Structure 1
Amino acid sequence: MNFKMTENGFETGLEFGTLTVSGDEQYGFRPYQLMVSSIAVCSGGVLRKILEKKRMDIENIEIEADAVRNEEEANKIESIHVHFKIKGKGLKQDAISKAMELTRKNCSMVRSVEGSIEISETFELIGT
């Protein structure tokens, strides 16, 4: 990636468009938003692949992510909680719990921040 300075932040061109990053959310994505998004969506993508490989009937996965930041340490992200709302037919709690364990082990973004950001995950099943 090659970032170029703009009046209010930095930009880079990517396959799907221009990514604008700024400390001011009026002008682009804030760095912490990208970090939280990376962890949430990486986890969601890995979970989806695992559930599909296990042939579970998944209709939708919605992800809620919340970050706790420490204002006294340059707004460092201390922890991120990721909550999955999984919609499908015949889903079983224990099977999803096992898939969540595999997700944690196989998400490169979660693994990259181990030891520096506490990551927690929960899920709820929504039957159809």
Structure 2
Amino acid sequence: MKFEMKEHGFETETEFGKLTISGNEEYGFRPYQLLVSSLAVCSGGVMRNILEKMRMPAENITIEVKEVHRNAEFANRVEKLHLHFIIEGHAIDESKINKVFELTKKNCSMAQSVIHSIELVETYEVRK
């Protein structure tokens, strides 16, 4: 990837189009939004694969960001992220969900990249 400076931030071209990143959300995605998105979507994608391998395919997974705690004293560093997963599927066995989350965290590259610097809180609900 290559990022080019623009008047209000940076841009990069991807195979899916232009991505504009700025510290001001009037002009593009803020860097912390991309960090949070990466953690949420990586976890959701890994979870989807694990559920399929466990023969409990999800019909839908919605991920709600319940909390992003940023420390203003340290460059607004992201210190805590609470992701709430709404897992829909008739074949979901709730007795296996703790194992699903354990495997998800272990196999999500984004979660593993921040595991010692950001507190990740994950909650869920299952809808049949």
TM bucket (normalised to shorter chain) is over 0.9
Distance in 1, matches of 2:105 and 2:76, equals 25
Aligned ranges for residues 31-110 of structure 1 at < 5 Å? Answer: 31-65=31-65, 66-110=67-111
Distance in 2, matches of 1:108 and 1:69, equals 22
Distance in 2, matches of 1:16 and 1:5, equals 20
Distance in 1, matches of 2:76 and 2:103, equals 30
Q: CA deviation at 1:99?
A: 0.8
CA contact (8 A) 2:56 2:93 kept: no
Distance in 2, matches of 1:86 and 1:5, equals 40
User: 2:5 maps to which residue?
Assistant: 5
User: Is there any run of 5+ residues in structure 1 with no aligned partner, and where?
Assistant: none
**Alignment pair present for 1:111 and 2:109:** no
**Aligned structure 1 segments of 4 or more residues deviating by more than 6 angstroms:** none
Q: CA deviation at 1:94?
A: 1.8
Distance in 1, matches of 2:57 and 2:48, equals 11
Q: CA deviation at 1:62?
A: 0.1
Letter of the 1:3 counterpart: F
**Alignment pair present for 1:28 and 2:28:** yes
Please, what TM-score do these two structures have when normalized by structure 2?
0.95
Distance in 1, matches of 2:60 and 2:79, equals 29
Q: CA deviation at 1:57?
A: 3.6
User: Is there any run of 5+ residues in structure 2 with no aligned partner, and where?
Assistant: none
List per-residue Cα deviations over 1:89-110 (Å, max 9, x = no partner): 0422221211111000000000
Alignment RMSD = 0.9
3-state DSSP class of the match of 1:89? coil
List per-residue Cα deviations over 1:73-126 (Å, max 9, x = no partner): 111101111110001104222212111110000000000012111111111001
Letter of the 1:53 counterpart: K
Letter of the 1:97 counterpart: N
